Structure 1
Amino acid sequence: MGLKSFLSRPLAAYTVRQYQQWTRQPELAQQRILQTLVRQGRATAFGRDHGLGGVRNAQEFQQRVPVRDYEGLSPYFDRVKQGESSVLWPGQPLYLAKTSGTTSGTKYIPITKDSIGNHINGAKDALLHYVHASGKPQFLDGKLMFLSGSPELEEVGGIKTGRLSGISNHHVPAYLRRNQLPSYPTNIIEDWEQKLDRVVDETLDQPMTLISGIPPWVQMYFDRITQRTGRPVGEVFPAFQLFVYGGVNFEPYRRKLLESIGRTVDTVELFPASEGFFAFQDEPHNPGMLLLADAGIYYEFIPAEQFYEPNPPRLTLAEVELDRNYALVVSSNAGLWGYSVGDTVRFVSLRPHRVVVTGRIKHFLSAFGEHVIGEEVEQTLREALQQFPEAEVVEFTVAPRVSEAETEPSRHEWLVEFARPPQDLAAFAAALDAGLRRRNVYYDDLLAGNILAPLLLTPLPAGAFQRYMRSQGKLGGQNKVPRLSNDRALAGGLLSVG
């Protein structure tokens, strides 16, 4: 056992004890955070505009601070980008995290000196919880690969700006930096496929122990490794122990990724976003992620089915229930106030509070009133793959197909890229339809009433999703394919490049 893994054990035990202090009463931690945020935010431009000086509790906060998304807060974000100080939080941000928006183009999310620790400590503490729970710190002595965006930063309004993963790269602790791959010159390559080849070059003969990244892009890395060597990843990297991932639901990718590895490895799920590091899997075999209720973020939860009502309820952590979908709203020491992140979560335990990510509030399919969410289609696909074990899926998305003629019924279209197709495509499509009907009563009613016909399954050629993402300038990095759409834009793009 090396020095790093040896020293990690007492540090992991200490970290877990620190977490246990607030996980017993997370509601109190949330109350303290709200008080701190209001006290520090009242002298900002936003604080003056919204009377934060008069806020004494959660109810008064909700009365004065409405829920907004990026577009709603854009007048304040624009002032920050122009270099103005104390707009949303005292002083200027340390960084602006640059991310792609669905309706606003590029978004610039502030990261302040008070909030940077949330991002860095969240990832570090996730690994320390794994060490404590598993008793397996040996990965810290090998090479650690973080498949991320470029760490090269530009300046906007005098503020360093870049992708969150690139910003975080600058804060990797010194004691881990010499273990870290890929190298800086490789990491700053913008062309994803060129970068991927260089990453393979640098890692192929290294003792890789931890690999981290968004599952579909890690799969591309694994495929290149196997193409080069003719062997599964687990043989190429015999010390590979831990796969750390976040950003998308792992389940649709689990089978192919594990097949690529060729043996079992441990996994840890994270819930990071440009707006904050919200949760991590604190127990290796528990699918729920511990919500970080004492990390500078105040959470509110809107029942997903009520999100678009004029005045939906905004629940505190003390008011949430198990097994209900909530839209996530945050206020934080990054200067976000009543900010709708766009993700939906479901609580799987309340003592402590653990969540799973169920989708995006804007990514649902309700062209016919069915309001299908991402979690439902992902669970449906996973169930169908269990029924057809010969099948393997690379990527998929679901779109409406609205009839323009009486002879062609309206229906859902599943566009699926198979690594290995099922032997019976029609039976596979029927299994998908049956699974979704069980999970969504509105979809079931539409089919029972002959308003919708059974779904159309459209297999796509190999590489269709990669070609589409390349055509949009979104190949690699932190970019993700939406599971659901309410229009044909994504479906049309995939079919045109297929």
Structure 2
Amino acid sequence: MGLLRRLIGYPSTRHARALARRFLDDTKRADQVQRRVLARLLERDAASDFARRHGLTTARDLETYRRRVPIRDYDGHEPDFARVRQGDLTALFGPGVEVLMFAKTSGTTAIPKTIPVTRESLDAYRAGWKIWGIQAFDAHPDMLSQGLKPILQIAGDWRESFTPSGLPCGAITGLTARMQSPLVRLAYCLHPSVGRVKDVDTKYYLALRSALPRDLGTIIAANPATVLGIVKLAERDAATLLRDLYDGTVAPRFREAIPPETQRALSWSLSRKHRGLVRRLESLLERHGRLRPIDYWPHLQFLANWTGGTMGAYLRDYPDWFGPKPVRDVGLIASEGRMTIPIEDHTAAGILDFIHHHFEFLPEETVERAGTVHDLAQADTLEAHELVEGRRYFLLMTTAGGLRRYHIQDVVRCVGFVGKAPLLEFLNKGAHVSSLTGEKLSEFQVVAAVDQTRREFNARWMTYLVLPVWGDPPGYRLLIEADDLAGADSEYLDRLARAIDHKLRHLNEEYANRLDTRRLAPLKIELIASGSWTALQRRRLERGGTLEQYKKPCLLPDLDLFSSFRVIRPPSSASSPSTTITPF
């Protein structure tokens, strides 16, 4: 096995090291590289309808590009993306460009985003992972000392749906898993077909069935909630898991959730009996009273997932499960593409991926003053090398996948430079987008759900605020001043919360998925002391701006803010004189 692992690791690591060396060397001239990246993309797509419409057929420079192309969010891109989904690639791309799929993710409105994945953008995505991976593996030498140690990496389904032209829509991770060479795939525990499994517990179960028999080197998952979900399932369902490992069977409740294609792909591995492993796991249970990866994966080298923004809160639980294992952030990466490549453990900061995409930056205060993306259309932007350490910015992306000055609404902080390339730390998903477990709940969705519910309940209260709250699982609280709901009891508030949650499910499928898989708690309504909104307004104005500029938010991605409010407990339905009054 050691020889096979070395055969797997050597060719791929040699290529990855060459990519990483070039990337780090190019940081010295990151400004020049960025200009070349933009010129190459403009030249490639000069014959597209987009280029003709914006006067870019001969333009290759940033100054002209800025003047002629407005800053836009997804909605501004959607008309061209719709044509590409129909098979009309000339909407955005020049001749010879191949679209392989559409990366699908929740949008800020009710419509999921579908981002074109071209051959070039996929190559950039894979190259970014290789650069990240070799930096992480070389920092933990035992990952490679005997060849590449086994890796548990969770991938999604790249064929969730299909466009009218027949192209798949789904998770780009599923496509990259499919494209791995058979030799490299031996190092990865999970078969690519597991991405087709929709039930999260079943996916975690299959991850454990695949990884427990192996001397695991690392777990890679964007969301730390996924990592914790896997190891908690091992402890919660230990009896079922051990019985299936011993007998080479699959418990009916898990088997029912595995698609036929996945069952066929895993039939041999799931039928294997691991009786020695089960005896070892039973011994660990008897000795420690619980089943933890610190015991059953003793040679785990590091963990890899997001650590910035709200994701950092999950890391508090890691020592209990894994001991003092290092954590490497996987970088700011989304369906739109990779934005940063971290090169050290225990930091959310990474080097801007300046060699694959073109980036511009908007100072945070510019966006806050503007209010809407339409107000930002011709706003002044900064290039990557012009950022100031300690300042906060919104990212704009131009990519090989057809994004043009795309406002992704990610807030980053510049924490330094490597050469002329900035080190960026992810802070949050924009001023009015919250994401505790990857749900990307937007203020637009909250307002739409609350407005519909208010009409249904004939409610007259107008002012409210939704905040994320940490817990196990985390969730959201909708705050309303108690005077606005005078007479409401706990039963009424529960009905109101369920109605709003029901609408949020329809507006945001990822939010619905997190509720169904218990990664998010249901929405809860909290009554707060009268005068709370005035106090919040005063605190926010003290940080700058004027009363005329102040806009009352309906959603803020601030985990600490809830604790600043005084919560008023509503009467229980039993003590309330009436549970049917709705004078609100």
Q: TM-score, normalised by structure 2?
A: 0.63
State the alpha-carbon separation in 1 of the partners of residues 52 and 101 from structure 2: 24
Aligned to 2:44: 40
Q: CA deviation at 1:287?
A: 4.1
Larger Rg: 2
* Residues 455 and 13 of structure 1: CA distance in aligned 2, closer, same or farther (over 3 Å): same
Q: Which amino acid aligns with 1:18?
A: R
Aligned to 2:325: 264
Q: 2:18 aligns with which of 14, 31, 45?
A: 14
State the alpha-carbon separation in 1 of the partners of residues 54 and 307 from structure 2: 33
Q: 2:235 aligns with which of 198, 223, 226?
A: 226
Aligned to 2:218: 210
Aligned to 1:252: 313
State the alpha-carbon separation in 1 of the partners of residues 428 and 292 from structure 2: 31
Per-residue CA deviation, residues 247-281 of structure 1 (Å, 9 max, x unaligned), is 86442011112312234244343221111111121
Deviates more, 1:271-280 or 1:133-142: 133-142
Identity of aligned residues (%): 21
Deviates more, 1:324-333 or 1:260-269: 260-269
Q: CA deviation at 1:223?
A: 0.4
Contact kept in structure 2, 1:94 and 1:112, CA below 8 Å: yes
Per-residue CA deviation, residues 297-328 of structure 1 (Å, 9 max, x unaligned), is 11011112222522432211132112222111
State the alpha-carbon separation in 2 of the partners of residues 9 and 113 from structure 1: 22
Q: Which has the higher strand share?
A: 1
Aligned to 2:148: 141
Contact kept in structure 2, 1:96 and 1:108, CA below 8 Å: yes
Q: CA deviation at 1:160?
A: 2.8
Q: Where in structure 2 are the equivalents of 1:295-374 lying within 5 Å?
A: 295=356, 297-307=357-367, 309=370, 310-311=375-376, 312-351=379-418, 352-361=421-430, 362-363=432-433
Q: Which amino acid aligns with 1:122?
A: G
Aligned to 1:158: 166
* Residues 442 and 138 of structure 1: CA distance in aligned 2, closer, same or farther (over 3 Å): farther
Q: 2:31 aligns with which of 27, 31, 49?
A: 27
**SS of equivalent to 1:344:** strand
Q: Which amino acid aligns with 2:319?
A: L
2:351 pairs with 1:290: yes
State the alpha-carbon separation in 2 of the partners of residues 254 and 93 from structure 1: 37
Contact kept in structure 1, 2:308 and 2:348, CA below 8 Å: no
* Residues 457 and 43 of structure 1: CA distance in aligned 2, closer, same or farther (over 3 Å): farther
2:134 pairs with 1:128: yes
State the alpha-carbon separation in 1 of the partners of residues 466 and 416 from structure 2: 21
Contact kept in structure 2, 1:12 and 1:132, CA below 8 Å: no
2:480 pairs with 1:401: yes
Alignment coverage as a number of residue pairs:
413
State the alpha-carbon separation in 1 of the partners of residues 218 and 185 from structure 2: 13
Per-residue CA deviation, residues 375-421 of structure 1 (Å, 9 max, x unaligned), is xx99xx8xxxxxxxxxx76425465434544989xxxxxxxx9x9xx
Aligned to 2:576: none
Per-residue CA deviation, residues 191-214 of structure 1 (Å, 9 max, x unaligned), is 222222232223222222111111
State the alpha-carbon separation in 2 of the partners of residues 137 and 455 from structure 1: 47
Contact kept in structure 1, 2:395 and 2:411, CA below 8 Å: yes
* Residues 314 and 398 of structure 1: CA distance in aligned 2, closer, same or farther (over 3 Å): farther
* Residues 114 and 232 of structure 1: CA distance in aligned 2, closer, same or farther (over 3 Å): same
Q: Which amino acid aligns with 1:314?
A: T
Deviates more, 1:144-153 or 1:327-336: 144-153
Aligned to 2:176: 168
State the alpha-carbon separation in 1 of the partners of residues 412 and 169 from structure 2: 29
* Residues 445 and 56 of structure 1: CA distance in aligned 2, closer, same or farther (over 3 Å): closer
State the alpha-carbon separation in 1 of the partners of residues 568 and 59 from structure 2: 54
Q: Which amino acid aligns with 2:292?
A: P
Q: CA deviation at 1:348?
A: 0.6
* Residues 50 and 141 of structure 1: CA distance in aligned 2, closer, same or farther (over 3 Å): same
State the alpha-carbon separation in 2 of the partners of residues 306 and 445 from structure 1: 13
Contact kept in structure 1, 2:327 and 2:346, CA below 8 Å: no
Q: Which amino acid aligns with 1:261?
A: F
State the alpha-carbon separation in 1 of the partners of residues 68 and 481 from structure 2: 42
Contact kept in structure 2, 1:41 and 1:88, CA below 8 Å: yes
State the alpha-carbon separation in 1 of the partners of residues 11 and 88 from structure 2: 44
State the alpha-carbon separation in 2 of the partners of residues 403 and 153 from structure 1: 44
State the alpha-carbon separation in 2 of the partners of residues 404 and 48 from structure 1: 57
State the alpha-carbon separation in 2 of the partners of residues 36 and 161 from structure 1: 27
Deviates more, 1:145-154 or 1:255-264: 145-154
RMSD: 3.8
State the alpha-carbon separation in 2 of the partners of residues 445 and 284 from structure 1: 35
Q: Where in structure 2 are the equivalents of 1:88-107 lying within 5 Å?
A: 88-90=92-94, 91-107=97-113
* Residues 407 and 151 of structure 1: CA distance in aligned 2, closer, same or farther (over 3 Å): closer
Contact kept in structure 1, 2:306 and 2:312, CA below 8 Å: no
Q: 2:91 aligns with which of 87, 92, 97?
A: 87
2:565 pairs with 1:455: yes
Q: Provide structure 2 residue ranges, at least 5 long, that are not aligned to the other structure.
A: 239-284, 435-441, 448-464, 488-514, 520-531, 546-551, 553-560, 570-584
Q: Provide structure 1 residue ranges, at least 5 long, that are not aligned to the other structure.
A: 382-391, 409-416, 420-432, 460-498
**SS of equivalent to 1:110:** strand
State the alpha-carbon separation in 1 of the partners of residues 568 and 128 from structure 2: 40
State the alpha-carbon separation in 2 of the partners of residues 247 and 108 from structure 1: 26
Q: Which amino acid aligns with 2:121?
A: S
Q: Which amino acid aligns with 2:301?
A: Q
Q: 1:65 aligns with which of 64, 69, 85?
A: 69
* Residues 363 and 286 of structure 1: CA distance in aligned 2, closer, same or farther (over 3 Å): closer
Aligned to 2:281: none
Contact kept in structure 2, 1:151 and 1:170, CA below 8 Å: no
Q: Where in structure 2 are the equivalents of 1:180-195 lying within 5 Å?
A: 180-195=188-203
Deviates more, 1:283-292 or 1:348-357: 283-292
Contact kept in structure 2, 1:243 and 1:267, CA below 8 Å: yes
Q: TM-score, normalised by structure 1?
A: 0.73
